[in-house]
Structure formats: C-alpha cells, structure tokens
Amino acid sequence: MPRRSDAEQRLLEKAGRYLPGGTGGNLSFPKELDFLVSHGKGSRIYDVSGNEYVDWLMGSGPMVLGHAHPAVTEAVIKAVEGGSTFFATNDKAVELAEEIVNAVPCAEQVRFTTSGTDACFQAMRAARAFTGKEKILKFEGAFHGTSDYALMSLTPSPSVEYPQSQASSGGIPKAIQELMLIAPYNDLATTETIVHAHADDIAAVIVEPVQRVIAPQPGFLQGLRDLTRRLNIPLIFDEVVTSFRLAYGGAQEFYGVTPDLCTVGKIMGGGYPLAALVGRADILSVYDRGAADDETYINQIGTLNGNPVACAAGLATLAVMREEGTYKKIHGAGAAIRGALADICKENGVPVQSCGEDAIFDVYFSEQPVANYRDTLAADTAMMNRFNAGLLERGILKGAQKYYPSAVHTEEDIEKTIQAMKEVVPLIRG
C-alpha cells in the first residue's frame, strides 16, 4: 500500500471539503488508495507523497508523447511569452487547422472548441442547422461528452426498447428524449430499420468508431457510411479519442471509412484544452455569417476557442507524431500488455474478453463476447474494480476503462505492468 505523507493527507481532506465528492469529476479511487497527483514525467506520474506510478491513463488519452515532453513544453513556453489569449484568430490556430485538414480524410474546414463535449455538441447542432431536421441517432452506451443530447442512453436500462432514449444524468429535460434515437452498436440491421423509419426526421448519425473500447465489426462502419449516404443523412465520427491515435488520420484512415463530419481532440491539443469540429465545407458554412441565412447561421463563440498556447502544444505534438516509428511504439506497447493480460487471465481460469485495438483497449471479465453496450452488462464490474485497485496498489495506474498506450512507455514499464497483473489476477475472484 502506498504511503501517504501528512501534507498529502491534509490536501485530501481539503479536497473532500471543497470539491463535490472530493474530486474534479473525473477519475476517483478507493478511499484507502486515494491520492493527489503532484507531477508527471514521461510515462510516470507522482503523487504528493512522492509515490511513483506507471501511467496507462495518460490524462485520459492526450499525453501520447508522455508528460512534459520537451518539444511540447518548449513550444508552450514560447507561446506563453507571446501572450496567452486574444479572442481573435491567431497564427497558430490557422497553422493547426491546416495540419488537421491535411491529416484527417473528411476535413475540409475546422471549427475549434475547448472540449470534446463542445465539439460533439457543435457537430449535432451543425447537422441540424444544415439539414433543417431535429433528431440525432446515436448508439447505446456511446459517450459523446456531457451535453444533454450526448448523455441520453449512455448507461440505460436494458429494458428500454430501441429506438427510445433514456437520460443517464439528472437535470436533463424530458423533451430531449424525443430528439434522440438509439440503436445498438455493431448491429447494422437494427440500425437500418430505425434509420429508414425515421429518415425524414434524422439530422445526423453520430458514432464512436471504437465505442469506448469495443471495436467495430467488419463492415459495420462502411455499412453506416453506405446507409447514410443513400439517404443523404450526415454521418459524424466522434474521434475525440481515436483521432491521431489509431493512425495519423485517425479511425478514418485506420478503417478506411470517411464520414461527413468528425470531432477531434485529446492528442490534437497536446494536453491543453482544445478540440475541434471538422468536415465538409458546405456543412461548416453554417458558422460563416456571410454564407448562411438567419435560420441556419450558428453563432458559436468561445473565449478560448483556438487558444494560441493550446494550438502551439498541438502543433508540437503532431510534429512528433509524424516522426517515423511513433505509431509502431504506441501499438507495440499496447499489444504487449493486452496480449499478456489475456494470457494471464486464461492461465488463472478468469473469464475475459479483450476488446478494442492495440492503441486503445481494455478487457471485460465475462464469458460472453462483447460487441455492444448490452453485452458489457454481463461483465463482472466488481472483479474489474478489484483488478484496478490491485494494480494501483502496485504502482500501476489505469482508468476505470481503457488503457492508453503511448510512444514513451518503455520495456521496463511493460514488464512492471505485466508482473503486477500476474500478482493481481489470481486474487480478483472475490
């Protein structure tokens, strides 16, 4: 069990006093393992007490080059010296927009936001404005941020029948239910039936190409592309996670399927608050006051949209991502621990389903193959909690769901992680 200094204990007590639930709303830990991050370097983070952790969370994905990468840090310091923000278009934003368009197959233009939540919200709003329709089809269990629309059927009851939606958060107006249609991921036949029945009302279909950690089955994404193209319905890829991770051109390049719009974030911002909606210029013209009429124009304002410091971090990050061998390192690190974990579970008689791709994955402790949200409900979540806690006790940090391999995870990191897994897996049956 990691030791806790008096200083960290006092800070933890303050967190409990001043922050709801004692957290910022993201990752939380069992009380006996709770800690506060002090700093990070490369593939490791350190708590206030000085304990070191091999980090597979990597800031929930953006730190693909590791913490405090020298090239990114240098670019940020230089940018800060020139001013922090301007509320006017800046040179770094234009340069980053150009690089995104060069990289992402569907991208003709770029509209910056400060978060993946806002980018996905804007994607749905832009589709509504462009088509004049109001309903959005999303897939059950998909996470597109924390807007009212995105939080419909994130964690619904399995008794809810498709295409009905169910709010997965307090504070969401009941009227939102009428605007969201829900389909099962990786089930093209059911999706086609729903889309055909509501085609006159659907403004867009939005999908995570890799839904959380569930990879698309062969033909699913292409089937969505073909279906939406036939019916002239915009297809949105939520690539906040997968952009610049699966490949430099994201899931679109990796799977060979090009949507009409997509959202990008995390890696693209180099660890700073930055995301974007990108896609067809005709759809994104709804943001151009000179091109859109009063009914279609979207007035999208954000004080820090396209922030020059964040854009500088993004440009520096993408320059390193383009270097030869970067993606080989990322996929290789993921493949090593992904394969080892599956083998360790099988050796110990622990039922396991390995899901995702090597660059973004996790397991479900289940006998049942996992192809969609409802399949995940058969998994043993208590076993997963014990597994994650056991890793944390041994200095290995991962999120509740997802490993984020990076270009800086070393053989030592991999070996330490696998050794911890060998110790923990035999103990997780409860």
Residue 3: its pLDDT value, please? 87
* For residues 58-82, average pLDDT: 98
Does residue 28 surpass a pLDDT of 90? no
What are 299's two structure tokens?
């007035």
Question: Which tens digits make up the pLDDT trace of 316-362?
Answer: 999 999 999 999 999 999 999 999 999 999 999 999 999 999 999 99
Residue 137: its pLDDT value, please? 98
* For residues 6-20, average pLDDT: 94
Residue 2: its pLDDT value, please? 77
Question: Which tens digits make up the pLDDT trace of 407-420?
Answer: 999 999 999 999 99
High-pLDDT (> 70) share of the chain, %:
100
Write down the architecture of domain 6-68+325-427 according to CATH: Alpha-Beta Complex (3.90)
Residue 352: its pLDDT value, please? 97
Does residue 282 surpass a pLDDT of 80? yes
Question: Which tens digits make up the pLDDT trace of 357-403?
Answer: 999 999 999 999 999 999 999 999 999 999 999 999 999 999 898 99
Residue 156's closest CA among 167, 142, 148, 171? 167
Question: Which tens digits make up the pLDDT trace of 170-188?
Answer: 999 999 999 999 999 999 9
Question: Which tens digits make up the pLDDT trace of 76-107?
Answer: 999 999 999 999 999 999 999 999 999 999 99
- Is the pTM higher than 0.85? yes
Does residue 113 surpass a pLDDT of 90? yes
Banded pLDDT at 429 (limits 50, 70, 90): confident
Residue 208: its pLDDT value, please? 98
Banded pLDDT at 219 (limits 50, 70, 90): very high
- Answer for the pair 35, 47: CB distance below 8 angstroms, yes or no: yes
CATH class of the structural domain 70-321: alpha beta
Banded pLDDT at 31 (limits 50, 70, 90): confident
Domain ranges of the chain: 6-68+325-427, 70-321
Residue 174: its pLDDT value, please? 96
Residue 97: its pLDDT value, please? 98
Banded pLDDT at 305 (limits 50, 70, 90): very high
Does residue 269 surpass a pLDDT of 80? yes
Does residue 264 surpass a pLDDT of 80? yes
Q: Mean of the per-residue pLDDT values for the chain?
A: 97
Q: Which of 20-24, 121-125, 234-238, 309-313 has the lowest mean pLDDT?
A: 20-24
